[in-house]
Amino acid sequence: MTTLHVNGKAFELDADPDKPLLWVLREDLGLTGSKFACGVGHCLACLVHLDGQPAAACLTPLGAVGSRQVTTIEGLPADGSHPVQRAWMELNVVQCGYCQSGQIMAAVALLVRTPQPDEAAIDAALRGNLCRCGTYQRIRRAVQRAAALAREI
């Protein structure tokens, strides 16, 4: 048995330690917000936080998580009140939406590290997150807007 800490809750799992965290989240816990796309960590649609640090869930085996806290997109406020969620909605960022949970989780991690990022910092932090729809300009504006909303709190 493995204890996995996800979004502030502890889960007891009987799962192979080599099983990718993404599949544990999706199949065993029913948390489908982290998406499967490339499966090799090149698109980051599966991005989650491990103790606040961004991690590709498709590349992270369950056994490597240990006692670290996993935060998924479902771990953000359900009412959409997080500054990043608010900015995404305000600026209508989403087109198809498939990459957006990874984009949002990358933006949240960036703003924790760098509360007032410039465009270069935003681009660097989200460089690995691929958007097939090409909404990169809207994403960058939303990160800037989220930073401004967070300063208002």
What are the domain boundaries of the chain? 2-74, 83-152
The domain made up of 2-74 is a member of CATH 3.10.20.30? yes
Sign of CA dihedral 6, 10, 11, 14: positive
> What's the fold here for domain 83-152?
DNA polymerase; domain 1 (1.10.150)
Q: The pTM is what?
A: 0.96
Contacts of 77 (CB under 8 A, 6+ apart): 85
pLDDT of residue 39: 93
pLDDT of residue 153: 82
Q: CA 48, CA 22: separation in Å to the nearest integer?
A: 9
2-74 and 83-152 agree in CATH topology: no
Q: CA 39, CA 22: separation in Å to the nearest integer?
A: 9
Local structure of residue 86 (DSSP, 8 states): H
Q: What are phi and psi of 49, to 5 degrees?
A: -110, 135
pLDDT of residue 136: 95
Per-residue pLDDT of the chain (153 residues; tens, 9 = 90+): 899 999 999 999 999 999 999 999 999 999 999 999 999 999 999 999 999 999 999 999 999 999 999 999 999 999 999 999 999 999 999 999 999 999 999 999 999 999 999 999 999 999 999 999 999 999 999 999 999 999 998
